């Protein structure tokens, strides 16, 4: 019989509270919005949100009807124990969602449907980008553009090295126009409350609103997520990598991306790139500048960098020298750990519920297991514990945290990661399975891979939600 090894006891982080209007708190994002209003409500700078719409021939009415739905209440039919009653956009955010007038409504010509159904994605992309360009003259009055992509156009959605969603968002971002893609799921899903919740929070965020902040994050800290996109030069066929850096600060004033083409790197067997000292120093220096530009030139007391691959010695030195001696630096690799599962015991008996979210388990000085996914209390109307992935994954798996730089225990590190898993404003569930630093840096890297000409510019993440 194989012997079982014994590890140190686990600990658990309390579910981080979210901060709403007038500094009110709740752990449930949607309940908090209903009871307190969005965080930025007290700032009183978002009086109304003007929508513009782009749709296929004779389809504008579908988006007009959707805007009408967003302004009405709806009762949840799926997961009613989690979802509150949707109260309508203005009641929820105290901000009006305005239906567009004729100058902000564009229907594509009838022949666009024929190109779409034949799979001519290049022509469809041109039609849509031309429509977006027509709205630039009205940019000062537009908060967000709805673009309807029906299922009948699905042949144009993706192709080798092409993604229509990424193309549209990447081309609209330099114009300063946030877009909201609307598909047939948003129009046809039977549970309208769930659709309204997801769309309303995303629309409010894209228009510049701050739905909530998270209490678990120290306001003097900054968080950076790194991801990479491998590309091949069209000129000479050489490979290079674009490093995508996403900078997040807990104040909600900075949530921005920048991409750098880097030619000095090595690769492991899985072809993951690792930067040289000079390249990492340049990436981190520019990332720090993004933070300083939003904070009057000040430098954070601590910077935590997240990525899914290890940090090499050159990368570590590049980070340290970029940030200087007065800033504490924590470098974390965050990876899924599929070979490890946890079984929860209550009173020395196997429990009826999986491991609790926020449980963490140090396995060495520099390694720790953390359950970002898991059961939660205080969320449902019935008072039952909630495990949102329960229908798909009966047992949550932890992530492995590997620390390459930084001191102290694991509590603060794990608290920040759990908190950052609640900061995706394009999401109406209680949390994501990874922190937003990883989620959005990878998303941005995917966009950059397919649309390479958007690098070396700083973008607000709202343009890529």
Residue 403 to residue 328: CA distance in whole angstroms: 13
In three-state secondary structure terms, 203 is helix
Q: What is the pLDDT of residue 13?
A: 92
Percent of the chain at pLDDT exceeding 90: 61
Quick one: pLDDT band at residue 225, thresholds 50, 70, 90? very high
Specify which of 173-177, 337-341, 379-383 reaches the highest per-range mean pLDDT. Answer: 379-383
Per residue in 255-294, pLDDT (tens digit) is 778 877 777 788 888 788 889 999 999 999 989 988 888 8
State pLDDT tens for residues 360-417: 999 888 999 999 998 899 999 999 988 877 665 667 889 999 999 998 889 999 999 9
The CATH classification of domain 11-15+216-464, taken from the options 3.40.50.720, 3.40.50.2020, 3.30.420.10, 3.40.50.1860: 3.30.420.10
This model's pTM is above 0.85: yes
Mean pLDDT of 91-118: 96
Q: How many residues does the chain have?
A: 465
Strand-pair category, 328-336 with 265-267: unpaired
Take residue 418 and report the two structure tokens written for it: 């759990």
**C-alpha to C-alpha distance for 233 and 243, rounded to whole angstroms:** 15
What pLDDT is stored for residue 228 in this prediction? Answer: 84
Cα–Cα distance measured from residue 433 to residue 334, given in angstroms and rounded to the nearest whole number: 11
**pLDDT mean over 84-91:** 98
What is the domain partition of the chain in residue ranges? 11-15+216-464, 47-206
- Which whole-number Å values give the CA distances from 137 to 131, 141, 143, 177, 236, in the listed order? 12, 9, 13, 11, 39
Most confident of 74-78, 291-295, 441-445: 74-78
User: Distance between CA 227 and CA 440 in Å, rounded?
Assistant: 9
More reliable by pLDDT, 146 or 242: 146
Q: Token digits for 396? A: 């949550």
CATH topology of domain 47-206: Rossmann fold (3.40.50)
For residue 138, pLDDT beyond 60: yes
Q: Is the pLDDT of residue 141 over 70?
A: yes
Neighbours of 326 (CB within 10 A): 8
Report whether 228 contacts 243 (CB < 8 A): yes
User: CA 36, CA 40: separation in Å to the nearest integer?
Assistant: 11
């Amino acid at each position: 019989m194989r012997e079982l090894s014994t590890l140190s006891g686990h600990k658990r982080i309390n579910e981080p509270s979210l901060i709403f209007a007038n500094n009110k708190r709740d752990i449930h994002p949607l309940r908090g919005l209903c009871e307190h209003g969005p965080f930025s409500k007290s700032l009183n700078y978002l009086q109304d949100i003007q929508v513009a719409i782009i749709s296929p021939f004779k389809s504008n009415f579908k988006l007009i009807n959707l805007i009408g739905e967003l302004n009405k209440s709806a009762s949840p039919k799926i997961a009613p124990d989690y979802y509150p009653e949707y109260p309508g956009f203005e009641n929820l955010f105290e901000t009006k969602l305005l239906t567009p007038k004729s100058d902000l409504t564009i229907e594509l010509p009838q022949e666009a449907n024929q190109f779409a159904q034949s799979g001519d994605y290049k022509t469809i992309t041109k039609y849509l980008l031309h429509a977006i360009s027509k709205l630039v003259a009205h940019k000062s009055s537009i908060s967000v553009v709805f673009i309807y992509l029906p299922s009948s156009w699905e042949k144009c959605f993706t192709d080798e090295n092409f993604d229509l969603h990424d193309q549209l968002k990447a081309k609209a971002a330099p114009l300063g126009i946030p877009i909201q893609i609307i598909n047939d799921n948003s129009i046809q899903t039977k549970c309208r409350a769930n659709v309204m919740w997801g769309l309303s929070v995303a629309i409010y965020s894209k228009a510049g609103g701050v739905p909530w902040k998270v209490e678990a994050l120290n306001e003097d800290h900054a968080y950076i997520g790194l991801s990479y996109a491998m590309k091949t030069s069209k000129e000479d066929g050489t490979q290079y990598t674009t490093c995508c850096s996403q900078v997040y600060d807990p104040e909600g004033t900075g949530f921005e991306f920048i991409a750098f083409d880097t030619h000095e790197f090595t690769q492991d067997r899985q072809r993951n790139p690792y930067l040289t000292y000079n390249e990492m120093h340049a990436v981190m220096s520019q990332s720090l500048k993004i933070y300083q530009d939003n904070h009057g030139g000040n430098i954070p007391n601590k910077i935590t960098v997240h990525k899914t691959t290890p940090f090499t010695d050159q990368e570590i030195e590049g980070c340290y020298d970029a940030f200087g001696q007065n800033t504490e630096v924590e470098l974390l690799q965050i990876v899924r750990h599929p070979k490890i599962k946890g079984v929860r015991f209550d009173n020395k008996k196997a429990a009826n519920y999986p491991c609790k979210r926020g449980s963490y388990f140090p396995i060495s000085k520099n390694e720790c297991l953390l359950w970002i996914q898991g059961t939660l209390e205080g969320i449902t109307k019935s008072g039952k514990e909630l495990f949102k992935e329960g229908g798909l994954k009966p047992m949550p798996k932890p992530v492995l945290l590997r620390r390459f730089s930084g001191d102290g225990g694991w509590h603060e590190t794990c608290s920040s990661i759990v908190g950052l898993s609640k900061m995706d404003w394009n999401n109406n569930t209680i949390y994501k399975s990874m922190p937003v630093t990883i989620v959005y840096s990878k998303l941005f890297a995917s966009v950059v891979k397919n649309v390479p000409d958007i690098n070396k510019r700083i973008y607000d993440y709202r343009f890529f939600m």
